[in-house]
Structure 1
Amino acid sequence: MKSYLITDPKYFSDNPKIFKQTLENSLKLHKIDFACFRDKTSTNFEKLAKLFLDTCNEFKIKNIYLNSNIQLAKDLNFDGVHLNSTQFEKIGFAKSLNLKTIISCHNHKELKLAFDKKVDFVTYSPIFDTPNKGEEKGIEDLKQTIKEFKSLNIFALGGIINDIQVNKISQTNAYGFASIRYFIASN
């Protein structure tokens, strides 16, 4: 099962020195297969995105994504872009730039649309209770969703903060799990 680290300035900081140290700690402590720079608030977004990319490359991370900003992902040479659930119409543009695509999905309608648009990966959330993200879907819903959408590479996302939850997800045939807090919990 693949692991997918996602950043958030609440936990990683927008101070470049603190950001880099926090990211390095996470990359040293965990086996990371995918990593995404996600920051919706910092004024130094581009500088932090470049720092994120460089640090992930130092640690030989193979799948490095930028959240939402397709052109910047291309300009900085990210591997791909993680689109939010309002950006389905931008999948084709991202693919035309040879970027791998991940899109956030929260229901079966969005998953079907992601499949139809030939997205590379999806996150499906929230699996567990997460602040301000609506009612948790739970493991049984995740299992059924994976059965229904066999050909989608689904990352479970939402409220994943410990190994017990990761183990439960590993028993569902999910492609992987994605988290912010899981990867910083032991820093």
Structure 2
Amino acid sequence: MIESYCITPPFLSTRNLEDFKTTLFKSFSTHRPSRACLRAPCAPPDLLACFVELCKTFAITSYLNLPLLSSSIDQALQYGFFGVHAKGHALAELPSIPPTLSSFYSAHSAQEVQQALDLGAHFCTLSPIFPTPHKSPPLGLDYLDQLTPLQKNRLFALGGIVRIEQVKLIASKGLRGFASVRYFL
């Protein structure tokens, strides 16, 4: 089976700590993702520590995605995250990620995937693959056929993935994995 990458919705970080922990515990227990990313407009210290601890409990590789990549890097290093997830606007900042942190980049085209990998990103998400509320039109499954085997080995499809049938379609394209928000919640 391909790898799975759970990305939290931004609103989750606005809940109280107990609700945050309960929601993630249920998600991680049910779906057992290989990786998880805390995506938040801001994240208080207790939330960051809780996320890292839950990921360790379930042997999940933890990533952090804050509005600014520099903040993600600082907080990831301080709280023990495995890596950071850079937003699309942070492409030029990828070389600033320390080698001690793993990195994801949010790409929206095959060209951006290659640029991010060339700049040192370890992995990319490519989105949207399927229709997603409030996002641009989907790239579609056939779009993935233009990617090289090397790119596919470092790529997680994202966008509109809410059912196991879609995960199987992604797997048939030879990608490393899939990422989703709604699939895991």
Letter of the 1:67 counterpart: N
The reply to whether residue 58 of structure 1 matches residue 72 of structure 2 is no
Could you say what secondary structure the match of 2:94 adopts? helix
Q: By how many angstroms is 1:12 displaced?
A: 6.8
- For 1:1-187, what aligned pairs fall within 5 Å after superposition? 1-10=2-11, 14-40=15-41, 42=42, 44-61=43-60, 63-68=61-66, 69-96=72-99, 98-145=100-147, 147=148, 150=151, 153-184=154-185
Could you say what secondary structure the match of 2:59 adopts? coil
Percent identity, please.
35
Q: By how many angstroms is 1:115 displaced?
A: 2.0
Query: How many residues are matched?
Result: 179
Contact 1:3-1:33 within 8 A present in 2 as well: yes
Contact 2:152-2:176 within 8 A present in 1 as well: no
Gap regions ≥5 residues in structure 2 = 67-71
Letter of the 1:106 counterpart: H
For 1:88 and 1:153, the matched residues in 2 are separated by 16
Deviations 1:64-113 (A, max 9, x none): 101141111111111100000111222222134x1101000001221121
Contact 2:65-2:85 within 8 A present in 1 as well: yes
For 1:70 and 1:89, the matched residues in 2 are separated by 15
Q: By how many angstroms is 1:164 displaced?
A: 1.2
Could you say what secondary structure the match of 1:19 adopts? helix
Letter of the 1:49 counterpart: L
Q: By how many angstroms is 1:11 displaced?
A: 5.3
Q: By how many angstroms is 1:48 displaced?
A: 1.4
Q: By how many angstroms is 1:118 displaced?
A: 2.4
Q: By how many angstroms is 1:168 displaced?
A: 0.8
Letter of the 1:15 counterpart: N
Q: By how many angstroms is 1:178 displaced?
A: 0.3
Runs of 4+ in 1 over 6 A off after TM superposition: none
Contact 2:91-2:116 within 8 A present in 1 as well: yes
Contact 2:114-2:151 within 8 A present in 1 as well: no
